[in-house]
Structure 1
Amino acid sequence: MTSGAATTDKSTTGQGRGALLRPFVLGYAVNPVALALLWALRRWHLVAPVHVWVYFVVLWGTALVGTASELWFRHRPSRTSLHLRVLVQVAGVTVTLYVTGWGPVIAIAYAFMAQENVARSGSKTWRITAGWSVVCLGIGQLAIWRGIAPSLISEPLVHGLAALEAAAVVMVVRMAGAVTDQKERAEARLRASEERFRSLVQNSSDLTLVMDTTGEITYASEASVGLLGRTPEELIGEQAADLVHPDDISWLQVQLSAELRVMTTAQPLELRVRHSDGTWRDVEAVVADLLDRPSVAGIVVNARDLTERKRVEAALEHQALHDALTGLPNRMLFLDRLEQAIARAGREHATPAVMFLDLDRFKLVNDGLGHDVGDELLIGVAARLRGTLRPGDTVARFGGDEFVLLFEGLSTAESADVLAGRILACFATPFLVGGEEFQASASLGMALGDGAKTAGELVRDADAAMYRAKALCRGRLQVFDTATHDESLLRMHTETALRGALARGELRLHYQPIFELVEGRPVGVEALVRWEHPTRGLLGPDAFIAVAEDSGLIVPIGAWVLREACRQVRAWNEVRDPAHPLRLSVNLSARQLAEPTLVATVRDTLLGAGIDPGRLHLSLEITEALVLHDPETAALRLGELRALGVQFAIDDFGTGYSSMAYLRRFPVSIVKVDSPFVAGLGIDDHDEAIVSAIVRLAHTLGLRVVAEGVETELQLVHLRAMGCDYAQGYLLGRPELPERVDLLGSDAFAEQTRDSSPPRV
């Protein structure tokens, strides 16, 4: 009867035209059946005896008016059109019920009609439907009371029954509204959840794929554009295996096997997938079998792009294992390769070799031309070393100017010599650094594996051999042997013990007198340090000064020597004739000269000892190699010290890279002739000529001359004849402790020198 209005407004949003017409067709089809049924009931006197045409008008009129209101509501949905639609439906039901004479007895029809409206238009329409149902039920009862509508039930029973029915309709409609409201809330939550999940999937940077059992892609998220360069529509229907790198395809076949279906989720796997531009992207994929879930019905793959992370990891790994300046392997990577080489050598009966390379005079480049130029030289050296290597060999930079090379598969030590020759040959051509050519050289130390040495021991032995090469002659190869090992151990033990020698009071100062040759009297002393070793006895400077220089211990030792020597010479001068004070000579090392605090140390030492440098005539002895090592720094430091009244002597003059320019450039007052030249006086004409030339040159430049190593009277006679100013040596006095130095018994020597008749030179 109300089927003409049976179409729901919810269906209008997603149904087809056939679905929209279905309620109308049903309504028109039911009306003839209802008319026939009412006609039969009328003949049996079960409904009010009204004319059949009345039933016809009511049924078809209700259907037509209901259809019109439904169409209007669909065309212009609003609260007014909704009220009109419900009112037409309720009125149609009311007229149909009350024309039969049964009135409120079958008022349950209102409930069915109300449930239909709630289901179609939402839970909020229950109030509208219930309201109009009660109103129309009241109008029907009013029609019975006024005799307009027939009633098969007598009054007042029919009115009481109507009241009960009205209450029942309201209750049923309210319950329908509550149930529908709960359903709507659940559906809203489900839609929100689905929308949230859809948004997360579509906007996630992780790619989500769904495949069937054949591996065909049935769903792809929007992340496919960023990861693969392809839209989801382009991927659907393709085989997932076609996207995977051929070397990684095996894992996909395993994950798509039947074993996957008994797992909730698979472990993350890393693989490569093809981008639309032809490149390969690293991804991390998690595969889950959801074939048994109807909502998915597929195998789900979640893939995350690892390309950038892999690139960063590779860069960090390279930085951790390579030198930033040259790009060569660093110590960590070299030792790892060396350990592998030792393991292979044990299996293949081959000899690995480690070569330690240190550039000679690299500090000259760094200090003279700047660190940028020094870095340029290191890069050039690294490039040349790479070019000399055989396939499988390794060159690494350990830091500074130290390079270490690994040679594998050597059969003999001679083959190692051949390789070393190739390494030295790459330094034959000058390097172009800072726009200038620089002739570099290197000292090499090599250690051969014997199957018993560890990687650390091989590097240690090669390092020790390199230091021995530097000590013997720079720019050469030294192969590690037992002597090198013993020397390395001795050097290590010496350095360890020397670090505490000063604090333990084991250092001693010996003094060797310096005599003036004209009058034969002592005019000064040279302070020479000795080490009273607890087990090795008294050690001369040759046994530990080089170690002190390399380790930096020479700086505190040198400061102590200067301080103790100043104190001792002041004590001697306090008991001597003030007109003839003793002069003090102290050796100065290259490491001390490079110290920025040297000038302050000398000044504080002199002030602390209460000494006037001018009266003390403090002379610091420097070597030619020292000033040549860093001329700029040397000139600066020596100038500052000269301003304090300190004098300087060139020690071992004639044995190094002698240069007249340096004698003029630096504030030198004294030249000391080295003992090998003095030893040949009276024996070798060449030595006599050299010493004589040095004396004449020094005097021409206004310098004084000290002859070292005078051991015979013949040497003394020749020196006096040449006009040498001063002399020192075993003939005149050995280096002794201060209490054993004889500075007062020089009268006999003076008498001897006055009576001597020197030969003509």
Structure 2
Amino acid sequence: MKFNFIDLKSYEAHNACRTLRLISFAGALLSPIITFFWYPPSGYFATVSCIIYILIFSSLFILTIKNNFVKNNAAFFLISLYIITSGATIFFAYVNNFMDIQLWLISFLLLITTFSMNNTKFIKVYLATMLILTISVLYLLKDPIVSREKSIIILVIFIVVGYTNIKLRITYQNILKEKEEHYRGLVESSLIGVFIIKNKRLIYINPYLEHLLGYSLEDLQDIDVINLFHGDDELDVFNTLNSGPNKSLDDHYQFRIHNKYGDIIHVEISFAFLNDENSVSFIGTVLDITKQKKAEEQIRHMAYYDALTSLPNRHMLTDYLSQRIVMNKANNHRVAVIFIDLDRFKLINDTLGHNYGDKLLQETALRLKSCIGQNDIVSRYGGDEFVIIIDNTDENSVSQISNRIVSQFVNPFKLGSREVYTTPSIGISFYPEDGQDVDTLIKNADTAMYRAKDNGKNNYQFYTMMLNKEVSRKMDLQTSLRKALDKNEFVLHYQPQFDLKSGLVYGLEALLRWESPSNGLVSPLEFIPLCEETGLIISIGEWVIDAACRQNKIWKEAGYPFNHIAVNVSAIQLKHPGFYYMLTDTLKKLGMDPQHLVLEVTESVMQDLNTSVVINKLISSGIRVAIDDFGTGYSSLRLLKNVKPSIIKIDPSFTRDIIKNNDSLVILKHILNMGHELNCIIIAEGIEYEQQVSLLNKLGCDIGQGYLFSKPLPGESIKKFFDDKLLTHF
């Protein structure tokens, strides 16, 4: 059955009721006027008739306000009133000499009209016919008992009023029909679902909602509306449908519904209750928000999960750890934070490319997940850093997990056609002893991880308070380092190198010292690595070379008898693209002979092919190069093949042991013989005893350096040193 958005019968009844009310009021008001002032007085009969008219019209007026039956059937009462009034008019006007044929004709019309009260076309015909018949009767009859003119006027007024009312009703009905079609077009072409429910049964759904659900309205007739909703939402739907007519269109609800094919659809529903005295009815709209929900879920996943590894990201880690801290405050359980950093990841990423680096991170995520329990989480903290949270645990359990993690990295990672190796450095902190909040726990685990790296990598370390002090000092030193050069806090000390045969000064090694106002005299072993980590070694190294070369020029011009000044350089300096040009420009600017400068480079630095190229370029320009700490690397002999150094400096570990360790003596003898065969000058470092000097002389060592001869001296003490040495050799 076709559903009507506008109830035409109700509107027609309402309109007819208003018209009946108006006519009843007018009839009650005009009846005495017409009876006593329009027609001649006719005594008792006229008075009784007038009272009857007033009672009838007044009763109808009251019934149109109070009685629902009259309200709903006002059109019938209105047509009946027309018929009775027109019949009474004719009857009273021509009661004495009515013609039989006209009486039967009028009676027939009255009867037909009674059965056709809602047929407005027929009623119009009836009114017109009544007008013609009445006028013809008035003029055909010889002696009417009332004035023909007055009767005609009354009847014409009655018919005009009736016709106008019918005309208005027809116009109003047409307007309602147009609105009905308009509303239907809007609703049925809408891209939003529309439904009407009466007593928990659907009585209308628009085509869009039919398409969304996969059901037609007929299919839904025997289905309880609540059964269309997801089981978890049924209670909310039930409460909504039974909440009464106190809801408005501002009420929006998000539910999940099942369509005919079993798919779950996310919808947003708006309800508005309808005024219906006989049932609980309401209209609603349904908006499909499935795509929106999927987009929200995708955004949520992007916000809380790492796109590359699909692991929880830093935000989710922070939220989760915060919840664990709150929950474990009451039960005194411990929470472990395991911070993992991949060793050599940057080298793999830079060498093989980011695609291989990404694959390595993905494989790492899988291996880490296999090391933990179902109630633990592993997250990607950023870059090549991962964090694992273990709830309700202790050192024993965490050590087992950490060992499992280390063992997972023994096997290579297969990235396409390549195999790569990496190892984990792991730091561990515990709530509550190592921190009461997320930031502190992660920071302390990170600190422990760096200790693992310092201890050779591929191991795990627990956080301790001592580590925190070390890190705090390291940060203070890094901060002070950045200002030290501008504040002239760096100075050079010089340690003489002696010819073991003549006892004369051979050269001076420039050694950097940092006199920090806040930290005192800082050891080079402590601040040089920080310079390399922060990149400050470039600017500080330039200052060292410039200051040493200037001092060399001053002392040479003063006539001090020494061969060269030696300066230590790092791999970072040698790899810097401007290092070679900076060095040669400095020598040119000062007019210094390149032979008077020696660059000391460790074996580990020279193993890099790129730095070897730069070193050979420096040698070609006349600058001498010394291999420092020779004999400690695993490829010392190969270095002598790739680079032609001028000087070989024997590591102090060999010099210290030659007195007591015969093996060290044998190794030292072979190094000296090999170096002399390559035309290299041999310098033995770490000489502290006369016995060492005697043995080195016998073995043919050229130069000696150590505290036996002199400790490193500040620049201003060198003049006195040379003056003393001119008078006496060592």
TM-score class normalised by the smaller sequence: 0.7 to 0.9
In structure 2, distance between residues paired with 1:311 and 1:572: 78
**Conserved in 1, the CA contact under 8 Å of 2:504 and 2:729?**
no
Q: How far is 1:246 from its partner?
A: 0.7
Structure 1 residue 729 and structure 2 residue 715: aligned?
no
Match of 1:466 among 428, 432, 449: 449
Q: How far is 1:312 from its partner?
A: 1.9
**Conserved in 2, the CA contact under 8 Å of 1:588 and 1:620?**
no
Task: Please give the residue correspondences for 1:333-372 in structure 2 after superposition, counting only pairs within 5 Å.
Answer: 333-372=316-355
In structure 2, distance between residues paired with 1:195 and 1:511: 104
Task: Please give the residue correspondences for 1:585-624 in structure 2 after superposition, counting only pairs within 5 Å.
Answer: 585-590=567-572, 592-599=573-580, 601-602=582-583, 605-606=586-587, 610-611=589-590, 615=594, 617-624=596-603
Match of 2:201 among 213, 216, 221: 216
In 2 relative to 1, CA 565–202 (structure 1 residues): closer, same or farther, beyond 3 Å? farther
Report the counterpart of residue 238 of structure 1 in structure 2: 223
Task: Please give the residue correspondences for 1:105-254 in structure 2 after superposition, counting only pairs within 5 Å.
Answer: 106=152, 188=175, 197-213=183-199, 215-225=200-210, 227-236=212-221, 238-254=223-239
Deviations 1:619-647 (Å, cap 9, x if unpaired)?
4433333455xx35535655666676655
Counterpart secondary structure, 1:510: strand
Q: How far is 1:242 from its partner?
A: 0.9
**Conserved in 1, the CA contact under 8 Å of 2:349 and 2:356?**
yes
Task: Please give the residue correspondences for 1:696-735 in structure 2 after superposition, counting only pairs within 5 Å.
Answer: 696-701=673-678, 703-735=680-712
Deviations 1:153-172 (Å, cap 9, x if unpaired)?
xxxxxxxxxxxxxxxxxxxx
In structure 2, distance between residues paired with 1:669 and 1:597: 24
In structure 2, distance between residues paired with 1:644 and 1:246: 84
In 2 relative to 1, CA 211–593 (structure 1 residues): closer, same or farther, beyond 3 Å? farther
Cα RMSD over matched residues?
4.8
Structure 1 residue 681 and structure 2 residue 654: aligned?
no
Q: How far is 1:249 from its partner?
A: 0.8
Identity %: 31
In 2 relative to 1, CA 562–433 (structure 1 residues): closer, same or farther, beyond 3 Å? farther
Counterpart secondary structure, 1:238: coil
**Conserved in 2, the CA contact under 8 Å of 1:625 and 1:657?**
no
Structure 1 residue 690 and structure 2 residue 667: aligned?
yes
**Conserved in 1, the CA contact under 8 Å of 2:451 and 2:461?**
yes
**Conserved in 2, the CA contact under 8 Å of 1:613 and 1:645?**
no
Structure 1: which amino acid aligns with 2:225? A
In structure 1, distance between residues paired with 2:488 and 2:133: 124
In 2 relative to 1, CA 532–225 (structure 1 residues): closer, same or farther, beyond 3 Å? farther
Q: How far is 1:282 from its partner?
A: 2.0
Q: How far is 1:596 from its partner?
A: 4.8
**Conserved in 2, the CA contact under 8 Å of 1:613 and 1:646?**
no
**Conserved in 2, the CA contact under 8 Å of 1:507 and 1:532?**
yes
Q: How far is 1:388 from its partner?
A: 0.9
Report the counterpart of residue 510 of structure 2 in structure 1: 527
Match of 2:476 among 493, 499, 521: 493
Report the counterpart of residue 391 of structure 2 in structure 1: 408
Match of 2:401 among 395, 399, 419: 419
TM-score, structure 2 as length reference: 0.73
Structure 2: which amino acid aligns with 1:212? K
In 2 relative to 1, CA 641–193 (structure 1 residues): closer, same or farther, beyond 3 Å? farther
Task: Please give the residue correspondences for 1:222-301 in structure 2 after superposition, counting only pairs within 5 Å.
Answer: 222-225=207-210, 227-236=212-221, 238-257=223-242, 259-264=243-248, 267-292=251-276, 298-301=281-284
In structure 2, distance between residues paired with 1:110 and 1:646: 133
In structure 1, distance between residues paired with 2:177 and 2:527: 87
In 2 relative to 1, CA 42–723 (structure 1 residues): closer, same or farther, beyond 3 Å? same
Deviations 1:76-105 (Å, cap 9, x if unpaired)?
xxxxxxxxx9xx999979995997597999
Match of 2:544 among 546, 561, 565: 561
Q: What is the number of equivalent residue pairs in this alignment? A: 637
Structure 1 residue 657 and structure 2 residue 634: aligned?
yes
In structure 1, distance between residues paired with 2:285 and 2:585: 75
**Conserved in 1, the CA contact under 8 Å of 2:202 and 2:217?**
no
In 2 relative to 1, CA 100–671 (structure 1 residues): closer, same or farther, beyond 3 Å? farther
**Conserved in 1, the CA contact under 8 Å of 2:270 and 2:284?**
yes
**Conserved in 2, the CA contact under 8 Å of 1:217 and 1:237?**
no
**Conserved in 1, the CA contact under 8 Å of 2:548 and 2:565?**
no
Counterpart secondary structure, 1:353: strand
**Conserved in 2, the CA contact under 8 Å of 1:284 and 1:304?**
yes
In structure 1, distance between residues paired with 2:603 and 2:348: 19
In structure 2, distance between residues paired with 1:524 and 1:500: 32
In structure 1, distance between residues paired with 2:621 and 2:139: 137
Q: How far is 1:747 from its partner?
A: 9.2
Report the counterpart of residue 410 of structure 2 in structure 1: 428
In 2 relative to 1, CA 105–447 (structure 1 residues): closer, same or farther, beyond 3 Å? closer
Report the counterpart of residue 447 of structure 1 in structure 2: 429
Match of 2:715 among 729, 734, 738: 738
**Conserved in 1, the CA contact under 8 Å of 2:308 and 2:358?**
yes
Q: How far is 1:245 from its partner?
A: 0.8
**Conserved in 2, the CA contact under 8 Å of 1:516 and 1:725?**
yes
Question: What stretches of structure 2 of length at least 5 have no aligned partner?
Answer: 1-78, 107-120, 142-147
Report the counterpart of residue 151 of structure 1 in structure 2: none
In 2 relative to 1, CA 538–380 (structure 1 residues): closer, same or farther, beyond 3 Å? same
Q: How far is 1:540 from its partner?
A: 1.6
Deviations 1:637-660 (Å, cap 9, x if unpaired)?
556666766554333222233254
**Conserved in 1, the CA contact under 8 Å of 2:193 and 2:206?**
yes
Structure 2: which amino acid aligns with 1:274? H
In structure 2, distance between residues paired with 1:329 and 1:472: 29
Structure 2: which amino acid aligns with 1:658? S
Structure 1: which amino acid aligns with 2:209? S
Q: How far is 1:285 from its partner?
A: 2.5
In 2 relative to 1, CA 623–452 (structure 1 residues): closer, same or farther, beyond 3 Å? closer
**Conserved in 1, the CA contact under 8 Å of 2:412 and 2:419?**
yes
Q: How far is 1:193 from its partner?
A: 6.0
**Conserved in 1, the CA contact under 8 Å of 2:646 and 2:681?**
yes
Structure 2: which amino acid aligns with 1:687? S
Report the counterpart of residue 437 of structure 1 in structure 2: 419
In structure 2, distance between residues paired with 1:621 and 1:543: 19
In 2 relative to 1, CA 41–353 (structure 1 residues): closer, same or farther, beyond 3 Å? closer
**Conserved in 1, the CA contact under 8 Å of 2:595 and 2:622?**
no
Counterpart secondary structure, 1:230: coil
In 2 relative to 1, CA 434–701 (structure 1 residues): closer, same or farther, beyond 3 Å? farther
Deviations 1:553-602 (Å, cap 9, x if unpaired)?
3333333323333333333333347x976333232244x44545545554
In structure 2, distance between residues paired with 1:196 and 1:668: 98
In structure 1, distance between residues paired with 2:631 and 2:578: 30
In 2 relative to 1, CA 675–106 (structure 1 residues): closer, same or farther, beyond 3 Å? same
Structure 2: which amino acid aligns with 1:625? S
**Conserved in 2, the CA contact under 8 Å of 1:613 and 1:644?**
no
In 2 relative to 1, CA 580–437 (structure 1 residues): closer, same or farther, beyond 3 Å? same
Q: How far is 1:117 from its partner?
A: 8.1
In 2 relative to 1, CA 210–109 (structure 1 residues): closer, same or farther, beyond 3 Å? same
In structure 2, distance between residues paired with 1:716 and 1:307: 87
Counterpart secondary structure, 1:357: strand
Deviations 1:126-151 (Å, cap 9, x if unpaired)?
xxxxxxxxxxxxxxxxxxxxxxxxxx
Match of 2:285 among 284, 299, 302: 302
In structure 1, distance between residues paired with 2:186 and 2:506: 96
Report the counterpart of residue 380 of structure 1 in structure 2: 363
